[in-house]
Amino acid sequence: MTPSSQDVHQALTCALSSKVPTLSADALQAFVATYLDRRHIFLDTARRYGSPLYLLDKPALEAAAIRLKAAFQHVLPEVEFYYAVKSNNHPEVARTLVEHGFGLDVSSGLELETALQLGARKAVFSGPGKTEAELRLAASHTDKVSVLLDSPGELWRLEAAAEAQATTVRCGVRLMENPNGLWRKFGIPLESLVDFWAMARQCSHIELIGLHFHTSWNLTPNPQIAFIQRLGKALANMPQAIIEDIDFIDIGGGYWPGQGEWLHDAATPAGRVRDALALPAADELSREHHCLSAEPIESFARQLGAALKENIFNLKPCRICVEPGRWISHTAMHLLITVVDKKACDLVITDAGTNTVGWERYESDYFPVLNLSHPSLTEHHCHILGSLCTPHDVWGYFYFGTAIEPGDILMIPTQGAYTYSLRQNFIKPLPEVAIL
């Protein structure tokens, strides 16, 4: 049904008047200070390896792994951790997490090969559209790999691959969390689970023992809790034989890092409407940034644990699997770039382009740019742009420092999630990686 002009006007008015919380200046300065306090380490690394440069922060990665494991182990009797490789696919990230007892969550044959080469003791193979070659690879490593099935067709293809190798594959089935829009590409409807289980019982080389679901961009645990409640109600009405077969439930990941989601005004509802209507943008000279708050991981674990005990464990105590990606890798990588040209007092060009992160992230997402060469806790306006031949090559509109000049080393912290994995060979060469 086409909305009326009155409905459209009301929606636009609501968006333009909506207020996204402001990022606290004190919180921002405290965040910046933690990196400026270590500026000598970052500058020494830049002098040693050159610029631009990815900095893999292993201490930050290990601290995140330890904290996340402690949070969930405190509230769940049996829990396993699988790192979502797609969030940052640098091999050292996965290797470090394997050393800390993580399995790997892979979404392709390429990632599965990496997991096997790194010596991962356990892996879950998720994602839609697994090819026959990928399923054959999984079936040849049943001692380490469990497959999270995405459809009936995938079930039958895996049965054929396992039969050809005279083996049995341990599997879970992904449940569709959102039946509307593009997210319906993932998994099967919860209402189809009984029929799917019956099909799996016809496959003598498939051992269906688990369930899987995933919600993304979770600032709070509420979306996961809502699905756990739906799942508990559905299971309560299913044959007892299915309940008895369940050995694990994989509740996915999607936890947002604790600092929250930091945004430019252009990414707020009001900013998007102004852009769509070609209205003047908000004053970009203002150093007011926006923040959508995220709950700490301990709060996620506590509330998810309670929801599982109330809705699932009363039917079947089982192993719980979690698949953190963004939360683990977010703080594990930073970027160092160098100013190569100052074209105006408020416009500089750097030696790196946003092909290093693979998308026009900084037109919407706000991350502080720190001038390590002239450090300060005061932020100043400046267009900080990359050297690609496109106007969308933006690093930011502000920097923390006393000045900004050619030769200055700039740092963009916490760029570990969905940046390095999305990097593109476009115009400029990609940076090297230095491990701290």
Residue 173's domain is classified under what CATH number? 3.20.20.10
Q: How far apart are CA 173 and CA 302, in angstroms?
A: 25
Q: Is the pLDDT of residue 275 over 90?
A: no
- According to DSSP, the β-strands at 145-149 and 123-125 are parallel
360 and 214 co-located in one domain: no
282 and 335 co-located in one domain: no
- Asked if 144 and 116 count as a contact pair (C-beta separation under 8 A), the reply is yes
Q: Is the pLDDT of residue 278 over 90?
A: no
Q: Is the pLDDT of residue 35 over 60?
A: yes
CATH number at residue 395: 2.40.37.10
**Any domain includes 2:** no
Query: What's the domain count of the chain?
Result: 2
Q: How far apart are CA 123 and CA 401, in angstroms?
A: 44
Q: For residue 196, how many other CB atoms are within 10 A of its CB?
A: 20
- According to DSSP, the β-strands at 370-371 and 409-412 are antiparallel
197 and 296 co-located in one domain: yes
pLDDT (tens digit per residue) in 120-173: 999 999 999 999 999 999 999 999 999 999 999 999 999 999 999 999 999 999
34 and 77 co-located in one domain: no
169 and 208 co-located in one domain: yes
Local confidence band at 242 (pLDDT 50, 70, 90 cut-offs): very high
Local confidence band at 268 (pLDDT 50, 70, 90 cut-offs): confident
Which residues make Cβ contacts (< 8 Å) with residue 85, sequence separation at least 6? Answer: 94, 104, 105, 106, 107, 111, 114, 115, 325
315 and 245 co-located in one domain: yes
292 and 337 co-located in one domain: no
Q: Is the pLDDT of residue 42 over 60?
A: yes
216 and 277 co-located in one domain: yes
Question: Quick one: pLDDT at residue 272?
Answer: 79
287 and 358 co-located in one domain: no
132 and 231 co-located in one domain: yes
User: How many residues are listed for the chain in this entry?
Assistant: 436
30 and 108 co-located in one domain: no
Q: How far apart are CA 415 and CA 435, in angstroms?
A: 14
Question: Quick one: pLDDT at residue 228?
Answer: 98
pLDDT (tens digit per residue) in 50-83: 999 999 999 999 999 999 999 999 999 999 999 9
270 and 302 co-located in one domain: yes
Local confidence band at 6 (pLDDT 50, 70, 90 cut-offs): low
pLDDT (tens digit per residue) in 84-133: 999 999 999 999 999 999 999 999 999 999 999 999 999 999 999 999 99
Structure tokens at 192: 């189809």
- According to DSSP, the β-strands at 394-400 and 379-385 are antiparallel
